[in-house]
Amino acid sequence: MAEMTPEYQKKAVRVWWIVVFIPIFLTIVLFTIISSSSEKNPEHWRYMPTFEELENPESNLAAEIVSADQKLLGKYYRENRTVVKFENLPPVLVNALVATEDIRFYDHSGIDPRGLFRVLFKTVLMGQTGAGGGSTITQQLAKNLFPRGTYRKSKLIRLGVTVLSKLKEWVIAVKLERNYTKEEILAMYLNTVEFGSQAFGIKSASRTFFNKSPDSLKLEEAAVLVGVLKAPSWYSPIRNTERSRLRRNVVLGQMEKYGFISKEVYDSTKVLPLTTQYNVQSHSRGLGTYFREYLRKIMTAPKPERKNYASYQGQKFMEDSLSWANNMLYGWCNKNEKPNGKKYDLYSDGLKIYTTINSRMQHYAEQAVKEHMGGYLQPLFFKTQKGHRKAPFHWKVTQKWIKRILYLAMIRSERYRVLRAAKVDSATIVKNFNTPTRMHVFSWKGDIDTVMTPMDSIRYYKYFLHAGLMSMEPQTGYVRAYVGDINYRHFKFDNVMIAKRQVGSTFKPIIYTIAMMPGGFSP
């Protein structure tokens, strides 16, 4: 009898483990876990999604703020996700996904036996780490719709939980295949996956990385997005461009291998540089930032209760109570219920909020503020303050009052609130505010990366002049443009809704009206 080689002995041991030991071991593990957890959390093991839940799976959908001319002003979200239908998905994207993630997608019913066989023998038996994962697109969708729980107990329990979760995903995958078409499953999958950079779903991803809708994606762009799915951070086209480019070419190679593209197309596409139009969507960027924040506060306002107001806020309580009773928009999310009886969630229920804002007028208004404040008034103010020892304050203001003003600004700052919440003592906070720190500060020519003390930054921001602009259509009362201040990222105070009106400014329209009466001045 020939002598067994070390490699043959290793394979024989693997076979023994797979055929004999592992089934016995898993049976014991499953029995132990199910028995021990039945008292603590029985619903986890018994729970399977109902038919209604499979028909209407929950997912976090962003609310969209739409202008009067049907332009997207911005979103409210926990996960930046917007649903797209299958007919709006380009064939190159669908083909790239199937070729890379599940080439037998159209042939199986949720579970791919050949894929499981490959994983079992190539990964477990032969020890080939690059043999693939074996999960079908439908199984991945099941995991996205009904995520696994996280457990930090012993390895034995975690292994059992993983096995049970995998079995549950198989069952859900089969049910999904019975209730949805292949096209619907593909669309649902692409609407649920994460692409990084706060982009959830293919519509948000294509807008974030390429500033276009999914149906406009080119072959190389679709390959980039499909490649990102393996590990969104690792293959990010923004942070790891070269790594993402190589992963894109792997996707293109899979498409060529399975006949979705020709060899000529593959060769010409793989040499293209990876280019993006990064357009990260943020509440502090884009059109109408102050208006969007005002809208958010109004729609999520709770029902006014006197106990939630300070003793001196009686007038505010009365105003809010009248708004709750008479303003349909005030507290809308808390005054209206979904069909299931729950209150609407502005950040996850996919609301579409139609406004009277005109996107072109809003753009012109913001440009007008920028040009007038940043291009004319602010440089003029800087010029007048140059060389003044007390700048930006008036020369008559005493040092005592200057210190008082800066102190009040300090205790209202976000840095101060964070330090106080961490129970840092006052002396340490003052020291922190007087320690040079690297930071970004606002300027009309763009943010400046610099080093200064937080207290110096407070004084620096006192140099800036502020503004507010609101344009209303007289015939209808529709607000067409709304600019709360010069830059929402750095100045959150809304001069349109929060700032108090000066008596002289309030009286100006009356004077102007009289002046423009017949026989007076013309506009």
Per the prediction, the chain carries an average pLDDT of 86
Asked if pLDDT for residue 22 goes beyond 70, the answer is no
* Cβ(327)–Cβ(446) below 8 Å: no
Residue 443 tokens read as 């300027």
Q: For 420-445, what is the mean pLDDT?
A: 94
Instruction: Tell me how crowded residue 495 is: count the other CB atoms within 10 A of its CB.
Output: 18
Q: Is 521 exposed, middle or buried (0-12, 13-18, 19+ CB in 10 A)?
A: exposed
Residue 288 has pLDDT above 60, yes or no: yes
Given a cut of 90, whether residue 20 has pLDDT beyond it is no
Comparison of pLDDT for 4 and 353, the residue scoring more? 353
Q: In this model, does residue 308 exceed pLDDT 70?
A: yes
Alpha-carbon span 430 to 407, nearest angstrom: 10
pLDDT of residue 48: 63
Is residue 255 pLDDT above 50, yes or no? Answer: yes
Percent of the chain with pLDDT over 70: 81
H-run or E-run covering 298: helix 289-299
Task: Confirm whether 337 is domain-assigned.
Answer: no
pLDDT tens-digit map of 44-59: 444 566 656 665 666 7
337: β partners: 343
Position 370 scores a pLDDT of: 96
Q: Check whether 37 has a pLDDT greater than 50.
A: no
* Whether residue 346 has pLDDT greater than 70: yes
Contacts of 168 (CB under 8 A, 6+ apart): 48, 146
The confidence band for 12, taking pLDDT boundaries of 50, 70 and 90, is low
- Cβ–Cβ under 8 Å, residues 346 and 58: no
Q: Which residue has the higher pLDDT, 80 or 221?
A: 221
pLDDT of residue 128: 52
Predicted pLDDT of residue 473: 95
Instruction: Find the domain containing 238 and state its range.
Output: 79-270
Domain count for the chain: 1
CA–centroid distance for 65 within its chain: 15
Domain with residue 165: its CATH number is 1.10.3810.10
Q: Determine, yes or no, domain membership for 73.
A: no
Among residues of the chain, what percentage have pLDDT more than 90?
63
pLDDT for position 333: 96
pLDDT-based confidence at 434, cuts 50/70/90?
very high
List all residues 6 or more positions away from 301 whose beta carbon is below 8 Å from its beta carbon: 320, 323, 324, 330, 331, 334
- Indicate whether 486 belongs to any domain: no
Report the range of poorest mean pLDDT among 124-138, 280-294, 408-422: 124-138
Q: How many CB atoms lie within 10 A of CB 135?
A: 22
**For residue 63, what pLDDT is reported?**
94
Is 408 within the bounds of a domain?
no
- Residue 500 domain flag: no
Q: Is residue 215 part of a domain?
A: yes
- Position with higher pLDDT, 95 vs 161: 95
Query: Is 324's pLDDT higher than 60?
Result: yes
Q: 160, 32 in Cβ contact below 8 A?
A: yes
495 has a pLDDT exceeding 60: yes
If pLDDT is split at 50, 70 and 90, which confidence band does 1 have? very low
**pLDDT computed for residue 170 by the predictor:** 84
The answer, yes or no, to whether residue 155 has pLDDT greater than 80, is no
Strand 80-81's sheet: what is its strand order? 80-81, 199-200, 194-196
Instruction: Report d(CA 212, CA 203) in Å as an integer.
Output: 9
Rounded Cα distance between 27 and 128, Å, is 26
Residue 124 has pLDDT above 80, yes or no: no
pLDDT of residue 38: 43
Query: Which residues, other chains included, contact 287 with Cβ-Cβ below 8 Å and sequence gap of 6+?
Result: 67, 71, 73, 74, 359, 362, 363, 366
Q: Per the domain annotation, does 42 fall within a domain?
A: no
pLDDT at 39: 45
pLDDT tens-digit readout, 496-519: 999 887 777 778 888 888 888 776
Of 416, 413, 412, which Cα lies nearest the Cα of 430? Answer: 416
Give the residue-averaged pLDDT of 107-111.
88
- Domain assignment present for residue 97? The answer is yes
- Between these two residues, 145 and 19, which has the higher pLDDT value? 145
> Lowest mean pLDDT: which of 89-103, 138-152, 271-285, 400-414?
138-152
pLDDT digits (tens, 9 = 90+) for 189-224: 999 999 988 899 999 999 999 999 999 999 999 999
- What mean pLDDT do residues 218-242 have? 95
Cis peptide bond upstream of 392, omega within 30: yes
